[in-house]
Structure 1
Amino acid sequence: MKELALLLVLGTSLTVPQTIKTTFICPEGFKSIGKKCYHFSKQPALWTDSHFHCQILNSTLLVFNSLKEQNLLKGFITQDNYSTVDSGERWIDGLYDWKQHKWKWGSSGKPIQENSFTRKHTGEAFRWNCIAINQANNNRWVARKCSDQKPFICETSTNAYVEFKLYSRKKRKFNLTKCSSGLPLLDYEKRKCLKLLGRTEVQENEPAPLTVPEDNPGKSHHANWICPAHMINLDNRCYTFSDHSSTWQDAHFECRRNDSRLASIKSKKQDYNLRMFLNNFIEKQDRWIGGMYDWKSGKWRWAMTGQPLSYRGFSKAAMKSRSSQDLAWNSIFMDPALDNHNVDFF
């Protein structure tokens, strides 16, 4: 056994890594707090727009997983950072599931661990409510209408920036090497960095810039008409028709998860094509589309763009004697049984 132990010692690598310093770095526009990165938006937005803006930044709206994390963020806000971070209310990832009467994290759908806020804020009064934190009041959670415009906080994990020395017993000298996802490294340097970090390959969910593929000039124009396997082509537009019922909000997020969006109907021709298909090839039933009522401006808008509806196929009966207050939190569905009319629905 002694001989075996001696052989093992002699067989160790001639290169011995010695870590000098490990720093956690964040993507551009994020601030490092603890071992996470946070983005504090400068512009206000609806809760849903905030949700998708964070996704574009390869992050999510802020999720508190522990009291320690909440205290770290509170400390950052209060320690002379008011000049760079507005101290008002900001959206985080929580929203109210009024069907189950539970507060959930919007990015995962997981229930928020019960606390004094969730116990106090429950019931029909909190339908269409989302969670914001009041930074001027110790990051206290507050329930607000999801349609309110507020700045928001995105979060993501950090990248590790490791600086270490490699001691070569063979060459009897030190070589300084730096590991970082942002620096170009040779293959053998990447392997050494990954080994030092205790990993065998690059993690797929690391923060990274959003890459937009370039247009291929060699593509023929009609290639744009080809739809994914789960979608149907109607007059050069791709559609999918759900086989289950859901709330407008759930339908909105389901479409976004599938890299699509609730339909925006912008012309009489598009409206007609959809109705013909629904009436002749699919079970006739009401279906959500992407319009919702902005009660602050008193206008119907497409949820994904915020643009007012240019094509109005509303049923006159549905719109008759309706005030802005009556229409608050209404969204639009299409009824195939009606001739060229879209109807609003609470």
Structure 2
Amino acid sequence: MNFKTLPKIILFYHYLLLNVLFFTSESKLMYNCKNGFSKFGNNCFYLSTKTATWQEAYFECKYLAKGSKLAVLYKEVDDHNIRKFLKYRHTEIKERWIGGLYDWNQDQWKWATSGRKIQYNHFEKIPYFDQNDKFMCMAIDPNINYKWTARNVHIAQAI
């Protein structure tokens, strides 16, 4: 064996081992849900029986479990999965808050936890706002096939 290639082989071995350990531990985390959460695909969801304003719901979700938050739907597949979960879940059929918030200063929707601009959207229709609508957020509405809808942050509804 060539001694110049030995460090490369050892480095490759450690890299492979680290990847195996990382993916193994991550998959265990991904498929275990905390008490009260329901597993659906690779995600854990919590459907509250409480009614709250968007801001109350935002902080309530944040403190339920480490890393929990109002649903953030970056991609169409995320939206599809949560709609499917809500449709086939035997719970009360009501609007539920999700993590989108309207940034009036920049005139765009953003995900509240990251501040990222919302690229994909599933609004029934894109809402138009005027000066009186500065505090708008997002909910999923079962009456329009679980599409997104804009709501005032001060109204109370299901978390």
1:10-39, CA deviations, whole angstroms, 9 ceiling, x for partnerless residues? xxxxxxxxx9xx781101111111111111
Partner of 2:142: 135
Q: Which has the larger radius of gyration?
A: 1
Provide the secondary structure at the position in 2 that maps to 1:26.
coil
Against the structure 1 CA distance between its residues 136 and 29, is the aligned structure 2 distance closer, same or farther, given a 3 Å change threshold?
A: farther
1:59-78, aligned counterparts within 5 Å?
A: 59-78=68-87
Hey, which of these two has a bigger chunk of helix by percent? 2
1:28-67 to structure 2, matched below 5 A, reads: 28-57=35-64, 58=66, 59-67=68-76
Match in the other structure for 2:5: none
Q: What TM-score, normalized to structure 2?
A: 0.73
For residue 118 of structure 1, report the CA deviation from its aligned partner.
Answer: 9.7
Q: In the aligned structure 1, how far is the partner of 2:77 from the partner of 2:99? A: 18
Q: How much has 1:148 moved relative to structure 2?
A: 0.7
SS of the aligned residue for 2:138 comes to: strand
Q: By percentage of residues, which structure has more strand?
A: 1
Q: Is the 8 A contact 1:47 1:146 kept in 2?
A: yes
Structure 1 vs Structure 2 CA RMSD: 2.9
CA contact (8 A) 1:30 1:37 kept: yes
Distance 1:73 1:97 in 2: 24
Displacement, 1:100? 1.3
1:116 and 1:129 map into 2 onto residues whose CA distance is 16
Q: Match of 1:98?
A: 104
Give the AA of the match of 1:70: D
User: Deviating runs (4+, > 6 A) in structure 1?
Assistant: none
Note the residue ranges of structure 2 that are not aligned, 5 or more in a row.
Answer: 2-8, 10-23
Between the aligned partners of 2:120 and 2:42, the Cα distance in structure 1 is 25
Q: Separation in 2 of the partners of 1:108 and 1:39?
A: 20
Is 1:145 matched with 2:144?
no
Q: Deviation of residue 114 (structure 1)?
A: 5.2
Deviation per CA, 1:74-114: give whole Å up to 9, x if none.
Answer: 222222x23xx222111111111111111111112111115
Percent identical pairs in the alignment equals 33
Look up the match of 2:13: none
Unaligned 5+ residue runs, structure 1? 2-7, 9-18, 153-346
Cα 1:97–1:119 shift into 2, 3 Å = farther
Amino acid at match of 2:35: E
| Distance change (3 Å), C-alpha of 1:43 and 1:114 | same
Give the whole-Å Cα distance in 1 for the aligned partners of 2:83 and 2:121.
Answer: 18
Cα distance between partner residues in 1 of 2:125 and 2:85 = 28
For residues 36-55 of structure 1, the C-alpha deviation after alignment (integer angstroms, 9 at most, x for no partner) is: 11111101101111111011
User: Structure 1 residue 68: deviation in Å?
Assistant: 1.0
**Structure 2 CA distance for aligned equivalents of residues 133 and 139 of structure 1:** 5
